[in-house]
Amino acid sequence: MARLSVVGGTNDGASDRLAARLVAEEDRGLLRFLTCGSVDDGKSTLIGRLLYDSQLVFEDQLKAVHRESKRPNSTMGAEIDLSLLVDGLQAEREQGITIDVAYRYFSTPQRKFIVADTPGHVQYTRNMATGASNCDFGVLLIDARQGVLTQTRRHACILSLLGIKKVALAVNKMDLIDFDQEQFQAIVDDFTAFAEPLGFESIEAIPVSALKGDNVTAPSAHMHWYHGPTLLGHLETVEVSRSRDKDPFRFPVQWVNRPHLDFRGVSGTVAGGRIAPGDEVVIHPSGKRVHVARIVTADGDLDAAQEGDAVTLTFAEEVDASRGDVITTPDSEPSVADQLAARIIWFDEEAMLPGRNYTIRCGTQSATATVSSLKYKLNVDNLDHVAGKTLEMNEVGLCNLSMTKPLVFDPYGDNPETGSFILIDRFTNATVAAGMVEFGLRRATNVKWQELSVDKSSRAGLKGQKPCVLWFTGLSGSGKSTIANALEKRLHSLGRHTYMLDGDNIRHGLNKDLGFTDADRVENIRRVAEAARLFVDAGLIVMVSFISPFRSERRMARDMVGEGEFIEIYVDTPLEVCEARDPKGLYRKARAGLIKNFTGIDSSYERPESPELDLNTSELTPEVLAERVLVELRRRDVV
């Protein structure tokens, strides 16, 4: 039996320091791997077995686990629950499941290991993906009684997407199927047939019983038909190549290091390749070329820096570089584009909606991004490409993204550090997706802005007014279009140049291909916001009368025009009043179930939090309210 030495605990600062020390020990190789698979496949028990069989788990820890194993709701009977050595959260212990990623560190005479125990529940898929993103090898567990499940396939897809090339297929709970060889082989055949398109370089299938210890650290006495390695034996010898020292040099700038007037450098961690003083480098996206003068660390200067080194670079020439820039060597430059194609794993309970603005973070870079189109979704059961407009939680899809500014990146397969990103909800700051860049879109570099001789201020000056967007939002029947109409008549009588974009009218032309799903509503607003921006550029006062139910899209429309050019007007009419008016008979149809996704009935409306104007139509006439808007425009010197 191999001897293991337990040297760490769960995911905390002390463990991180301990992990760093292990990494620094170069005399033995380090393997970062994860255990994954469907819920109750025995991932935590497997890791617990690895630790327990070593007989080096601390005595007090064993006593605590023995006590906990005898809790009233335990299903272990007289057996010790080895999963308790890994499941640290109270909720995990109570429910017998893994929720968050737990890390363990151990070593054998052959190798050092950092193992991530990841959850199997669908709702915690994002935690599994997070754990996998830091690993080089995957142990995919399958319950021998259940066979290959959807979650098994989903986790295999995620491992492949994240660039893990080698996996072990641990068919667990063999004791519960009487160590049946035929059933084991059927599971292996099923999985290998499914996984063939995923492109794993090797799949080592091992029959194990984590509970009993068969083929975990020692060969099983119950499976004489199996002649392969034990799981630990395979982990000790499997070759994984993750060094990118010979890859192109990549250095995302994390911060500008300027402790005093005589020193200025840029700090960060080398994400690939190697650099030395005297080497010429390129700072992206500016494209400026300089030479490295020094490689500075807290322990003194280095002769060279390579992947994983946290250093400060100083340059021989004066140059402007800041957080978000990426420094490379000139012989192999990264892609720089504001549009790209990427595979996305959606984490959030609220679906991904093309056209909605998210914050994208790629390394130290940040921008506003929109999923411009969903090319297809991946059916994790058979890997088919499925058409769709949105991504639901835990779904994987290939998308095109458009950013507000160019990003510096590499394809994920070339460099995961510079080829991966996350998407963040702009209101909640929650991470809603992880992405892997496939390639930059060629059209991003071929389409250029055409400089125009006559600009917005010239056009507006000729008309004697300030252009702006008057964005009327509110429920159907609230009175938006009626007030906007009255206002436009008033402005027209004053000789002002205006135009009105009405929701119903636009759907007869520009947006006639869109329905009323959330995804179509987002696209509806994106298009009309683009149209409004063009009219503002033409120097006009634009009235937009749209329900525009989501704050995110109203914010997107605001961001498209200049400071002070967007005036949000909330037509504040209660639902019961709108429903009583029902000028088009839509509420009656919606209540009868004839219209789906109707705002206020079965689709939500997010009222403005701080509109520039709040118009209550319950007490005042449209003409009076239009006059109130006109007063506001005069106060802002628009007219």
Q: Which residue has the tokens 């630790």?
A: 51
Closest CA to 568 of 623, 607, 622: 607
d(Cα 635, Cα 632) in Å, to the nearest integer?
5
Q: Judge whether 322 counts as a catalytic residue.
A: no
Q: What contacts 1, CB < 8 A, 6 or more positions away? A: 53, 217, 218
The answer to whether 612 touches 570, Cβ cutoff 8 Å, is no
Quickly list H helices, 349-455.
416-419, 442-446
- CA 624 to the chain's CA centroid: 48
Closest CA to 484 of 466, 502, 496: 502
Q: Which tokens belong to 38?
A: 């469907």
The answer to whether 30 touches 126, Cβ cutoff 8 Å, is no
Burial of 318 (0-12, 13-18, 19+ CB in 10 A): exposed
* Angle (CA) 505 509 515, round 5°: 85
The answer to whether 528 touches 506, Cβ cutoff 8 Å, is yes
Host H or E run for residue 381: none
The answer to whether 194 touches 148, Cβ cutoff 8 Å, is yes
The answer to whether 335 touches 410, Cβ cutoff 8 Å, is yes
Residue 455 vs residues 395, 536, 538, 541, 602: alpha-carbon distances, Å: 44, 11, 8, 16, 44
| Sign of the CA dihedral with 292 first, then 298, 301, and 307 last | negative
Q: What SS3 state is found at 601?
A: coil
- SS3 for 355-375 is CCEEEEEECCEEEEEEEEEEE
3-state helix, strand, coil in the chain (%, to 5): 30, 30, 40
Q: What contacts 494, CB < 8 A, 6 or more positions away? A: 639
Q: Which tokens belong to 58?
A: 């601390």
Closest CA to 138 of 154, 122, 121: 154
d(Cα 552, Cα 543) in Å, to the nearest integer?
19
Host H or E run for residue 143: strand 137-143
Catalytic residue among 202, 322, 548, 610: 548
The answer to whether 531 touches 524, Cβ cutoff 8 Å, is no
d(Cα 88, Cα 101) in Å, to the nearest integer?
10
Strands 431-440 and 420-424: antiparallel
d(Cα 26, Cα 148) in Å, to the nearest integer?
38
Q: What SS3 state is found at 624?
A: helix
Strands 365-378 and 385-386: antiparallel
The answer to whether 175 touches 213, Cβ cutoff 8 Å, is no
Q: What SS3 state is found at 461?
A: helix
Torsion angle in degrees (nearest 10) through CA of 474, 477, 481, 486: -110
d(Cα 639, Cα 636) in Å, to the nearest integer?
8
Q: Which residues are catalytic?
A: 548
